[in-house]
Amino acid sequence: MSDLIDDPLEGENAPEFSVSELSGAIKRMIEGEFAHVRIKGEVGRVSRPRSGHVYLDLKDDRAVINGIIWKGVASRLATQPEEGLEVVATGRLTTFPGQSKYQIVIEDIKPAGMGALMAMLEKRKAALQAEGLFGTDRKRPIPYLPEVIGVVTSPSGAVIRDILHRLRDRFPRKVLIWPVAVQGDKCAPEVAAAIRGFNAMTPGGALPRPDLLIVARGGGSLEDLWGFNEEVVARAAAESAIPLISAVGHETDTTLIDFVSDQRAPTPTAAAEIAVPVRLELLAWLDQQDARLTQALTSGVTRRGERLRDLSRALPRAETLTQSHRQQIDHLDERLPNALKAGLQTRQIYLSRHAGRLHIGAIRQRLTAEHRSLSALSERIKPAYTRRLGQLSDRLTALDRQRQAMGYVETLKRGYAVVHGADGLVTNKAAAEAAGSLEIEFHDGKVKTGAQGKKRASGKGKPPEQGNLF
């Protein structure tokens, strides 16, 4: 900036600068003096527009500095800025000439000490609890004996060896290991991706889908376990359709994944013990149950046999039940021949009594009487029949006279005629003139004649006009 004021114009007290020159000089000076700074403060307003950049305020009790985190840096941060969180921000100071203000371009941001981490953890815990992700009603039961167990942990640590060793001792199962980083910036996204990856497997596919998941890590400080406190991990565990056991840290360590998991184990080894029963104990229990079942069946059959024998002693003998019926059958057998003879004699007497009525003379007398009765009935019906027949004949004659009186033949007798053409009745002059020939019907016959105005067939002269018949 000194080169701008070294040569003041003659006769003036101070040089003149353009706004851009002055803003540029200030920008170069600030960026040169504060190229790398670390600022401790409380995060105030946080804004995340659609561009992906993050705008925030860093403040203490006396001042506020605007900050910006570019999109590429924001996506890589292990700790995302949240309002009210005390942080240490690392970056460089610069100016924004468009609004005449200075700001810090943040390249890294971390919580300022254990207090800040605990405050952020409590805030996240309260938010997830308000959404119902900690509710017991949404926790799934752990399968008693899963076929396949998926383990999300580091493949090189002692944790996976302890889990495999415990599973081998208790009840060997198939184990799928999804290797992840268990601390650092990559921990949270890799653990979340592993949980979702196990859930995305197709049941019955080439690689079997686990029946149970274990997310495990050994003990460590709050910063070491912080990846399991990230919201992305907690939400992935809450969304898991596969039952999940969390085994992060020692018994005294608590992370957010412990609250959303279906069951928490105090250590990774305890998680393996929860996942499967002891095979020898299970076999012993099965043997015990088999013995109890055999004993129960034997005892039940014995008791029912004794009960059957007790009841059989109270029942009467079979010979006693049928003795009276056999005696009755013998008695009826003795009576049957005499009863058959008596019945036959009775029916013979009845037949003989009625056979006399069927004599031929009696039948002829019956027929003669019926004939006389029929003749008498015929003599009574004949006059009525003759009278009814005469009435119907008179009625028919009267109807025929009425038909003749109302028919057109009687009308023709009074001097009228019916004119027929080739197409039917002719009822007007125009139809009569247009017809080629006419047929006139009188009461005593029909007469054919040519129509008026038609030429003769010979073609000699004009035919005489025919008079109007009507």
38 plus 163 within the same structural domain: no
255 plus 130 within the same structural domain: yes
Asked, for residue 370, whether it belongs to a domain, the answer is no
Terminal CA-CA length for the chain: 140
Asked, for residue 357, whether it belongs to a domain, the answer is no
Quote the pTM value.
0.47
385 plus 414 within the same structural domain: no
Asked, for residue 330, whether it belongs to a domain, the answer is no
294 plus 439 within the same structural domain: no
Element (H, E) at 354: helix 318-355
DSSP classification of residue 211? S
Q: Backbone dihedral region of 461: left (phi > 0), alpha (psi from -120 to 50 degrees) or beta?
A: left
Domain encompassing residue 288? 281-309
48 plus 129 within the same structural domain: no
Give dist(CA 285, CA 150) in Å, integer. 27
Domain termination site, one of 309, 327, 354: 309
Asked, for residue 71, whether it belongs to a domain, the answer is yes
Tally of domains in the chain: 5
79 plus 184 within the same structural domain: no
Per-residue pLDDT 10s for the chain (470 aa) are 445 555 555 555 677 888 888 888 888 888 778 878 888 888 888 898 988 899 999 988 888 889 999 988 888 887 788 887 788 888 888 888 777 788 889 988 887 766 667 777 788 888 888 888 888 888 999 999 999 999 999 998 889 999 999 999 899 999 999 999 998 888 999 999 999 999 999 888 888 999 999 999 988 877 788 889 888 999 999 999 999 999 998 877 888 999 999 999 999 999 999 999 888 888 888 889 999 999 999 999 999 999 998 888 888 777 777 878 888 888 888 888 888 889 899 988 888 877 766 677 777 888 888 888 888 888 888 888 888 888 888 899 988 888 777 777 777 777 788 888 877 888 888 888 888 788 888 878 888 887 554 433 333 444 445 545 44
Q: Which CATH number does the domain housing residue 226 bear?
A: 3.40.50.261
Give dist(CA 411, CA 348) in Å, integer. 88
Asked, for residue 434, whether it belongs to a domain, the answer is yes
182 plus 239 within the same structural domain: yes
Which residue type, as a one-letter code, is found at position 73? V
Give dist(CA 55, CA 198) in Å, integer. 36
Q: Which two tokens stand for residue 57?
A: 């305020």
444 plus 457 within the same structural domain: yes
Asked, for residue 369, whether it belongs to a domain, the answer is no
Asked, for residue 4, whether it belongs to a domain, the answer is no
215 plus 80 within the same structural domain: no
272 plus 126 within the same structural domain: yes
